[in-house]
Amino acid sequence: MDTSAKSLPAISITALSKHYRLAGKSVRKAVDQLDLSIAQGQIYGLLGANGAGKTTIIKMLCGLIIPTSGHIVINGYDLARERYRAVQQIGAVLEGTRNVYWRLSAWENLLYFGRLKGCRERELRIRARQLLEELELWERRNSAVRTFSRGMQQKVAIACAVIADPSIVLLDEPTLGLDIQAARTVKDWVAKLAREQGKTVILTTHQLDIAQQLCERVAIMRHGQLLADQPLTHLLKYFREEHYQIRLRGQLSSEQAALFAPLNMSYADGESCLTGLIGNQAQLYRYLADIERLQLPLLAVQLLEPSLEEVFMRLLSAGKEVKDHVA
């Protein structure tokens, strides 16, 4: 790839669609007119409920599914016209347990996939050892993968995906079914791929807390269409403007609490806490006026940073796209 291509997006998707014909004349639009541009060296979250189209997108990027229409360009290579060079840019771990050969050992899997991807033998063995050590699998390198735990199998799959040192890594539900310790190891390693090695990582996950910890930018999908494609900080800030916490000294009576519905109320350590969405400043001032009228001791009023899960659920519920200008 020409050095000038480094300034190009890692992945550029234009008007991408994948439609499936069902019984009769009906059509299911798994992905519909999708436009995305993913920057180099970024951890990018591709989020959505089941059936949103995430895995279909990943498989189209890998060349495993042919789009109905649209274009995919990977590091400057058009996937339709330069398939071999485009696919060389990518390492992928798909959802499920069939990313490696269970009868082979961890070491044999890495050598097999490295040779398949054209790695030179000496460099391959050095990199295979490095990966197994980083993922805490070196001591079990000669054991058959079928004897590994689910977390260990997933680590082997990730190592096989990056054995040829691709610049782009696609991870479809990489922490699914892992225990806490294994999930943390995978999460830390994903962060290292981008922040220390400069790789572009596209991550799909239902574990939105992990996405919030890792991703710099997220796309939220619904029924094959894009609801949001924003830097994570911008998306959280956009919804932060409506989410408040009001802290009061003492415990509210049920009659007093009813005045602040539909805010959620909790009581702990001598304080009442009202939290929830307050759509405009006029509503906030009405709440504050009620607090003053009731002579309730006000401790603090603050905007809250919503979680990615809260943003995700609100976007899916509204079903409306968040435009770029909100960033």
| 261-295 pLDDT tens trace | 889 999 999 999 999 888 788 999 999 999 999 99
**Confidence (pTM):** 0.78
326, pLDDT greater than 60: no
Mean pLDDT across 297-306:
88
Residue 184 and residue 108 in contact, taking contact as beta carbons nearer than 8 Å: no
Can you give the pLDDT at residue 304? Answer: 80
**CA angle, 80 then 37 then 190, to 5°:** 100
Can you give the pLDDT at residue 87? Answer: 93
Report the range of poorest mean pLDDT among 47-51, 86-90, 95-99, 107-111.
Answer: 95-99
User: pLDDT tens digits, residue range 126-142?
Assistant: 999 999 998 889 999 99
Q: How far apart are CA 65 and CA 202, in angstroms?
A: 17
Topology adopted by domain 237-324:
Alpha-Beta Plaits (3.30.70)
Can you give the pLDDT at residue 1? Answer: 46
Q: What does each C-alpha distance from 58 to 22, 151, 168, 236, 298 come to in angstroms?
A: 22, 22, 12, 25, 51
DSSP string, 283-294: HHHHHHHHHHHT
User: pLDDT tens digits, residue range 53-94?
Assistant: 999 999 999 999 999 999 999 999 999 999 999 999 999 998
Can you give the pLDDT at residue 280? Answer: 83
The single-letter code of the amino acid at 90 is: I
Mean pLDDT across 180-208:
89
318, pLDDT greater than 90: no
User: pLDDT tens digits, residue range 140-164?
Assistant: 999 999 999 888 898 899 999 999 9
Can you give the pLDDT at residue 57? Answer: 96
Q: How far apart are CA 142 and CA 238, in angstroms?
A: 51
pLDDT band at 32 (very low <50, low <70, confident <90, very high): very high
Can you give the pLDDT at residue 180? Answer: 85
Can you give the pLDDT at residue 3? Answer: 47
What the block records as the tokens of 46 is 């591709």
Nearest Cα neighbor of 33 from 230, 322, 226 is 226
Write out the CATH class of domain 40-63+83-233.
alpha beta
- What is the average pLDDT score of the chain? 89
What the block records as the tokens of 235 is 């998306």
Mean pLDDT across 298-320:
82
User: pLDDT tens digits, residue range 195-209?
Assistant: 899 999 999 988 888
What the block records as the tokens of 283 is 């509503």
Report the range of poorest mean pLDDT among 4-18, 164-178, 308-322.
Answer: 308-322
**CA angle, 278 then 282 then 283, to 5°:** 35
Asked if domains 40-63+83-233 and 237-324 share a fold, the reply is no
Domain edges within the chain:
40-63+83-233, 237-324
Can you give the pLDDT at residue 272? Answer: 95
